[in-house]
Structures are given as C-alpha cells and as structure tokens.
Amino acid sequence: MPTKRKYFGTDGIRGRVGAHPFTPDFVMKLGWAAGRVLAATGGGPVLIGKDTRISGYMFESALEAGLSAAGVDVRLLGPMPTPAVAFLTRNTRAQAGIVISASHNGFEDNGIKFFTADGSKLPDETEIAIEVELERPLEVVESDRLGKVRRVNDAARRYIEFCKSRIQAGIDFGGLRLVVDCANGAGYRITPAVFEELGARVEVIGNAPDGVNINRGFGTTDPENLRKAVLRAGADLGLAIDGDGDRLILVDRKGEIVDGDEVLFILAKTRIETLNGAVVGTLMSNLGLENAVRSLKLEFLRARVGDRYIMEMLTERGLKLGGEASGHIINLNLANTGDAIISGLQVLEAMMGTGQSLDELKRGMRKFPQRLLNISCKPGLDLKRFPAIDDAVREAESILNGRGRVLLRPSGTEPLLRIMVEGQDEAEVDTLVHQLAARVESALDQRR
C-alpha cells in the first residue's frame, strides 16, 4: 500500500469547483471509495453535512450516489457547521461523517472532510486506503444492498443543546450585548440561536447566504464589518465564525480585533487547572503568545500548522488546549474538534466568571509584530530544491539576530507559499518580509 496521499491534504480534499479533482464524477467515485473502506470497518449510516456554497447541492448528490452504490446508508444533515457534523456522528452512532466545505475559502472552491465514528478526523492509513480504492473500477452492489438515504430533521436542535451544555449550569448571559457574524456560512442559523437561548441580546450579520457570498465581506477572514457593528451597537463583544464554523475571531468593545492566539491565552489563564501543564500552538503562533503562556508557568509547545497536528500533539502528550491564530481552538475537555461556538462560549464564561471585559482579559499578552505574505506556487512545492530561498531565509534570520523568527511553509489547503516574519520592530519586520518575498518569487520564477 502507498504511504503518500495523492488527494488528501491537511484538511481533507479541497479544490476549485469544476477543476480536477473537484468534479461531480470524481466526488461520486470518492463517495464510493470511502463507502467501500468504511463498510469494511463496521455498519451504520454515514452523515453528510455542508456549508452554504451553491456547489454543495451538486457534491451532496454525488457523494450520496457513490455511498449508495457501495451499499452504505446515508443521512443528510443539510447546512451544518463542521464541528456539528463531528458531534452528530458520535452522538447518533454513525460510522462516519462527511462535511462538504472549503472552510474560509471563497465560493469558487469546495472541499470534502471526513470524520470517524468518534468524531475525529480520519487517520492517514484510512485516507490512503480510500485513495487506493479510487484507482479501482467502480462496482455497484446488488440492487437489494444499495444504501438508503433520508434527511435528519432534528440535527440543528441536537447540536444547539450540546453547545449550551458546554458551559457551567446556571450561567446566564443576560445583560450581555453581542454582535454575531455568521460569514453567510453553515452556522447562519445555529450560531445566533445558541447565544440567544443563553440570554444574550444578539445582533446578527452575515446571515443571508445566497450560495456565492460565503466569507465575502464577513467572517473570520474579513472582520471589518463586525468591528463597525460592535462600535455602532455599543456591544460588549463581537464574534465572527468562518464559513464552516470551526474558527473564531473576536472584536472587543473598543473595536479591536482579538485573534486566535489571544483567545488561546485567555482560555489558558482562566482554565490553568484543567490543562495538564501545557498549551499547544503552531509554528505560526505569535512569540508574544509563547511568552505569555510561559508567564503563567505553563509549557508552550509548537505543532505543525493545521488542526490535525495540534490534535495529534494534544493526544500524544495527554494535553487539553491548543489552537491557531486563525481562530481554530481545540479544548478536549469540551469537544474533540475545533468549534467556534464552543470557543466563544468559553470566552463569555470567562468574562462572566471574572467580571472582566474582553479587552481586560487579553491583558498580559503583548503580540510581536508579525507579517504574513502569500505567494502563488505549484502544489507539492519542495523548498529543499531551492538553495537560493534557503540563503534568503538565513540572511533574514541573521538580520533579526535572535530578536524574531522567519518561517516559510506551503499551505496545506491552497496553492500558496506562506512567508512569515516576526520580530520586535514593526518597520524592520515589514521590510524583511517584502525583501524575502521578492527573493523567493525570483527563485521560483527561474524554475518555471
């Protein structure tokens, strides 16, 4: 069996709609291949949820056909946040869950993510086994063994009640005024319902999906409308989720953006006794977060970028809390995947428990200036083949002289090379990241 994956990246399979592999025929074959592998591990239906992209209808039908052809029953959830699919897969004792979403990307892209029966992401060996099946001819089971399909009507209510159960009994958010930005995505109904049912006064934006406006002008990647709405309403807090509901970015009452690193710090300092002595970030986590966590007498560990690698480190070391600056926060005391709603509830619970506002809670962490630039590149870029890039990185690091960090990494979800420079001096960081990006582009152009 091969050891490398051809289609699966760090977060399932993702691509441009209509371009290989994201075509209806491939996705149908993927459903069949996944069904073949999953059917060998046990019975039970497979759940399918999706975000609000117009292409979700097409790919939902394709997956449904492929799974049915493999003899696997299907339960359709409709628009549903990614963490909700993970929860419902476990809660309904399904054999697997599938999410049709490209997360924070625009509507032109889409993706397929899988969850195991316990709501965790597929292990590498299962993804490889699915890819092996993809290379085989599609064979339909006998007609009397075809999978049956039906819709689940109470999925949203089950998940809302689960989210509400994640905070201490008796806590009431009455008196809090919130603005919730749903990114015109999968959580556009569920997210405001959770906070309203817990007593908060909620103004909702980004809750009018039309199939093509997901993440456009709203959500975690574009929180400016949320910032304006918080200031206009005089709200205590603004919460932005992304298109599939697993990332969270906040806005405090002063209109300042609070990213995932700061959320992670707030949760670390208000839940120290539950963390088993350490917090997990990534290679991209701000140096200010590392310093702040260590000031709490906690160890700070860095995993590779991607929530699956955070989860691996948490599991391997028996830890509970980790996350990324993008707003993907995992607290294994409360859920087994990143969940924007649950992360937001934890912050509100911290505010109620301490009597402090969000801007007061984030004190104690001083972020280092950090600049990130993206450069288009071919998928599968191997930086080791470019000595000129290695030279450029070393020169930038020598200029920083221990006062910062340089990191280059190919994205696991897009054909981009991410270039990050971090340091104490903002002007120096800005100059270095642009100089480094120019040299990297020059090196890549010479090989094109």
Catalytic residue set: 103
Task: Provide the token pair at 320.
Answer: 């509970």
Residues paired with residue 98 on neighbouring β-strands, in sequence order: 48, 114
Which residues are within 8 A (CB) of 405 and not within 5 positions of it... i.e. 6 or more apart?
A: 287, 420, 421, 422, 423
* Separation between Cα atoms, residue 318 and residue 316, nearest integer Å: 6
237-241 and 248-252 as β-strands: parallel, antiparallel, unpaired? Answer: antiparallel
First to last CA, the chain: 33
Residues paired with residue 9 on neighbouring β-strands, in sequence order: 12
* Geometric angle at alpha carbon 47, from 46 and 53, rounded to 5°: 135
- Put residue 184 in one of left, alpha, beta given phi > 0 → left and psi -120 to 50 → alpha: left
- The full 3-state SS of 206-257, as one line of letters, equals CCCCCCCCCCCCCCCCCCHHHHHHHHHHCCCEEEEECCCCCEEEEEECCCCE
Residues paired with residue 372 on neighbouring β-strands, in sequence order: 420
Residues 400/436, Cβ–Cβ less than 8 Å: no
* Separation between Cα atoms, residue 329 and residue 247, nearest integer Å: 7
Residues 419/20, Cβ–Cβ less than 8 Å: no
What is the maximum alpha-carbon separation in the chain?
69
Q: How many other C-beta atoms are found inside a 10 Å radius of the C-beta of residue 409?
A: 18
Task: Provide the token pair at 144.
Answer: 């009397």
Residue 442 carries which side chain, given as an amino acid letter? S
Burial of 23 (0-12, 13-18, 19+ CB in 10 A): middle
- Put residue 314 in one of left, alpha, beta given phi > 0 → left and psi -120 to 50 → alpha: alpha
Residue 256 carries which side chain, given as an amino acid letter? E
